[in-house]
Amino acid sequence: MPANDFTQDEYAERIAKTRAAMSANDIETLIVADPSNMAWLTGYDGWSFYVPQAVVVPLSGDPFWWGRPQDKAGAAQTTWLQASHLLDWPEEHVQHPDRHPYEALAKHLRERGLTRSIAVEKDNYYYSAKAHAILEGAFGPLVDATGLVNWQRAVKSQTELTLMRKAGRLTAHMHATLREGFREGRPKNELVAEVQSAGIAGVDGIAGDYAAIAPIAPSGKEASAAHITWNDRPLGRNEATYFEVSGCFHRYHAPASRTLYMGDPPKDIRRAEDAVLRAIDDAFAAAKPGTTCEDVASCVFESFARAGYEKANRTGYPIGLSYPPDWGERTMSLRPGDQTELRENMTFHLMPGLWTPDWGVAITDSFVVTPDGGEPLADIPRSIHVVPV
């Protein structure tokens, strides 16, 4: 899907940026197993990342897609690569105890003379310790290029921003569906079903894709846990529900969380809400080109401190094109110590949240860095959505 969204010039620019980073790190051949990076470089799309696959970027010539034989047709349909640049491994190696697809990759690399200064994404879900042992057995020590391509993705093109704003429209539509359906006594899975359906059916002709993370939707004490998904417990009164979802348009994301409350929220939750809302305003006002990640995070923690909450962990991360299990780009972070300067058209998910053992209040928004500060990618009312009981 993504390949058709972008001009060949844009793909050429992405490859050129990647090669510049390769040269700066003395890398001659880069093996990219992160499906988000594979898609960004070639347009490849498909739920095939549960088996070994990669894009191989040499210093010159087109990159190669490499994967399972039955996924080659998908590569031909979704990437801009010529058939001669689609490589595969023997089908009988799939999830086999004694054989491994990476043996075939080593052979492909040798046949093409791509045997020196090879780099890999050493800390990635889709590149295993076993794959690494096979490649190091064949070529000796490899360079660690974890995040190399991810960093090139940080500043978004105008076309990418258009896709992300459409994702934001989907996110807003999901949250509108959520507010409408949030009623006492409804089993939570029914509400999640409506919200997921809204995200995929879409709105105003914008069709949704699957998001890289399932809805996170804890209620009451569950909400003290950060990554609980959902269950069939009826929505109850006098508890906060935290709902984190993202629309996904052509694999681009724009996550946002809101807190909903059935009944009259107690004072401590209102105080937390106030601190979180001010944190967002302050962080968005600060998020201009040249500001550091740490500066943006400080806005959040200073707002929390004014309200009496001590907190200084990570409060946001870059977002964009992604596949499960994470919609973050895993490069910089909005946190103390990160001196990376924001640049125009970078995109982040700002995540101010306060958790106690009894409840959690989080209100989070995705934004793009502009000269006027952070511009939200989705238009969603921020206050706690209160349903009278």
Interacting positions 97-156 with a second copy (CB under 8 A): 97, 100, 120, 122-133, 144, 146-147
- Give the alpha-carbon dihedral of 300, 305, 308, 311, to 10 degrees: 70
The one segment of 152-160, 188-196, 254-262, 270-278 that binds a second copy by CB under 8 A: 188-196
246 close to 252: Cβ distance less than 8 angstroms: no
Provide the minimum distance between the beta carbon of 315 and a second copy in the complex, in angstroms, as a whole number: 11
Residue type, 285: A
Q: List binders of a second copy among 309-338 (CB under 8 A).
A: 313-314, 317, 324-326, 328, 330, 333, 335-337
Provide the minimum distance between the beta carbon of 19 and a second copy in the complex, in angstroms, as a whole number: 21
What single string gives the DSSP state of each residue in 160-218?
Answer: HHHHHHHHHHHHHHHHHHHHHH--TT-BHHHHHHHHHHHHHH-BTTB-----SSPPB--
Among 10, 25, 58, 94, binds a second copy (CB under 8 A): 94
The one segment of 79-87, 209-217, 274-282, 296-304 that binds a second copy by CB under 8 A: 209-217
Three-class SS of residue 348? strand
Look up residue 61 and give its two tokens: 């010539």
**C-beta closer to a second copy: residue 320 or 376:** 320
The one segment of 8-16, 190-198, 301-309, 371-379 that binds a second copy by CB under 8 A: 190-198
**C-beta closer to a second copy: residue 151 or 281:** 151
Provide the minimum distance between the beta carbon of 115 and a second copy in the complex, in angstroms, as a whole number: 19
**Distance (Å, whole) CA 143 – CA 140:** 10
Q: List binders of a second copy among 219-238 (CB under 8 A).
A: 221-222, 224-232
Q: List binders of a second copy among 242-301 (CB under 8 A).
A: none
Three-class SS of residue 323? coil
Pairing relationship of beta strands 353-355 and 360-362 according to DSSP bridges: antiparallel
Provide the minimum distance between the beta carbon of 72 and a second copy in the complex, in angstroms, as a whole number: 8
Three-class SS of residue 301? helix
**C-beta closer to a second copy: residue 166 or 278:** 166
**C-beta closer to a second copy: residue 25 or 229:** 229
Binding mask 37-56 for a second copy (x = CB under 8 A): --------xxxxxx------
**C-beta closer to a second copy: residue 55 or 131:** 131
Cβ-Cβ contacts under 8 Å for 298 (sequence gap 6 or more): 336
Look up residue 1 and give its two tokens: 């899907």
Helix 101-111, helix 129-139: angle, nearest 10: 30
Look up residue 27 and give its two tokens: 């890398």
Among 14, 68, 253, 385, binds a second copy (CB under 8 A): 68
Residues 168-204 as b/e (b if ≥16 CB within 10 A, e otherwise) read bbbbbbbbbbbeebbeeeeebeebbebbbebbeebbe
The one segment of 5-13, 76-84, 111-119, 235-243 that binds a second copy by CB under 8 A: 76-84
Check residue 162 for interaction with a second copy (CB under 8 A). no
Provide the minimum distance between the beta carbon of 204 and a second copy in the complex, in angstroms, as a whole number: 12
**Distance (Å, whole) CA 68 – CA 89:** 6
**C-beta closer to a second copy: residue 72 or 179:** 72
- Give the alpha-carbon dihedral of 304, 305, 310, 316, to 10 degrees: 40
Q: List binders of a second copy among 340-359 (CB under 8 A).
A: 355, 357
**C-beta closer to a second copy: residue 107 or 221:** 221
